Amino acid sequence: MTELELKYGCNPNQKPSRIFMRNGGELPVTVLNGKPGYINFLDALNSWQLARELKEATGLPAAASFKHVSPAGAAVGLPLSETDRKIYFVEGDRDLSPIACAYIRARGADRLCSYGDWAALSDVCDADTAHYLKAEVSDGVIAPGYTGEALEILKTKKKGNYNVVQIDPDYAPDPVEYKDVFGVTFQQGRNEYRIDESLLANIVTKNRGLPQAAKIDMVVALITLKYTQSNSVCYVKDGQAIGVGAGQQSRIHCTRLAGTKADNWRLRQHPKVLALPFIDNIRRPDRDNAIDCYLSEEESVWLLAEGSWERTFKTRPEPLTAEEKREWIGRMTGVTCGSDAFFPFGDNVERARRSGVQYIVQPGGSIRDDNVIETADRYGMTMCFTGMRLFHH
């Protein structure tokens, strides 16, 4: 197929709309089910690149959960802990496939933002992954292939309208890309800079300790940032993005946003949250929304609101106090923070530290690098300068 007509572009008034190959060649994607739209394909092609590169760099199956052309989460396929299974609503106790674990962890980074996501898988979608996708609110999935069982499961989702796209894993795009804005065509070389552990050699802090797990987390952060709308900052732990701050105009706001998301990820593991007495058969989105309200600064107002908690919980839950939140977040350690451009001030390091960050990876190059390094040294952090900016627009 050389082109595919779409219902409309970003908005219903933007017609005509299609995807096609500028060189007249065949599209590298095949729609196996559903009718993906313009934004669906933007998410699909960006998320696929992230998942593919993450597997190439780590050797592990990888997945991404995309919303509005930025990742809500990304992860490699490490096994799920018992706590993971609880906070990501994994039913049963049998071991799941690595690619299923990768997607479950990617979506689990920020389940609220992953509502209605586009999923990307580095490996063939299997039944484990399909079963989990079927239970979640998702717009579609892209993968290099699907088992027969997985495809049949996905075809039953959304009354048979779930978007399933297969991409040719051997497809290589032209080295030059184009984009039209206001009738003006932009041209640039594709960002083919290879991200791997060789970028992490320039450690600029006094603490030079960089265990293998932290190296993997740095690679996860950098590849996630490569496909996140700039400015962007990403927090990673155990091969999983736990907080992505995208599209902010100032670096500190990226760091704060990503840090707040990482804190919420951590708070979802608090014993009080794990013990919330949900009513039977509550929908997953309602459960996610309830947890978000429970953890918000307005939780006391929400809990006191007439009829709010009765529609969600069997009994009225005990509030999680601000002191309890600070103490629980304060226990988090070993987190990696990555930035798509240099930290201009030490305040970014200060904020990252509050969310358990021990390792930082960023391009460097600020006139205040000395201040940023000094701040990292004050807390015994390890920081790498890559010399590579990762803006994405």
Peptide bond into 231 cis (omega under 30): yes
Residues ≥6 apart with Cβ < 8 Å to 348: 233, 251, 252, 255, 339, 372
- Which three-class secondary structure state does DSSP give residue 239? coil
Catalytic residue among 33, 40, 231, 348: 231
Catalytic residue among 11, 159, 281, 393: 393
Half-sphere exposure in the Cβ direction for 128 (13 Å, CA): 19
Crossing angle for the helix pair 127-135 and 98-108, nearest 10 degrees? 30
Distance in angstroms (rounded) separating the CA atoms of residues 174 and 189: 9
Helix pair angle (322-330, 251-267), 10° resolution: 100
Whether 393 is catalytic: yes
Q: DSSP code of 362?
A: E
Which of the residues 33, 55, 67, 264 is marked catalytic?
67
Tokens of 122: 């580095």
SS (H, E, C) 168-231: CCCCCCCCEEEEEECCEEEEEECCCCCCCHHHHCCECCCCCCCCHHHHHHHHHHHHHHHCCCCC
The residue annotated as part of the active site, out of 68, 86, 131, 158, is: 68
Phi-psi group of 320: left, alpha or beta (phi > 0 → left; psi -120 to 50 → alpha; rest → beta):
beta
Residue 296 dihedral angles phi and psi, to the nearest 5°: -75, 165
- Phi/psi for 58 (5° steps) reads -110, -20
- Alpha-carbon Rg for the chain in angstroms: 21
Does the annotation mark 371 as catalytic?
no
User: Is 270 part of the annotated catalytic residue set?
Assistant: no
DSSP letter at 24 equals S
Residue 34 — left, alpha, or beta (φ > 0 → left; ψ -120 to 50 → alpha)?
Answer: left
Is 134 catalytic? The answer is: no
Active site residues: 67-68, 231, 393
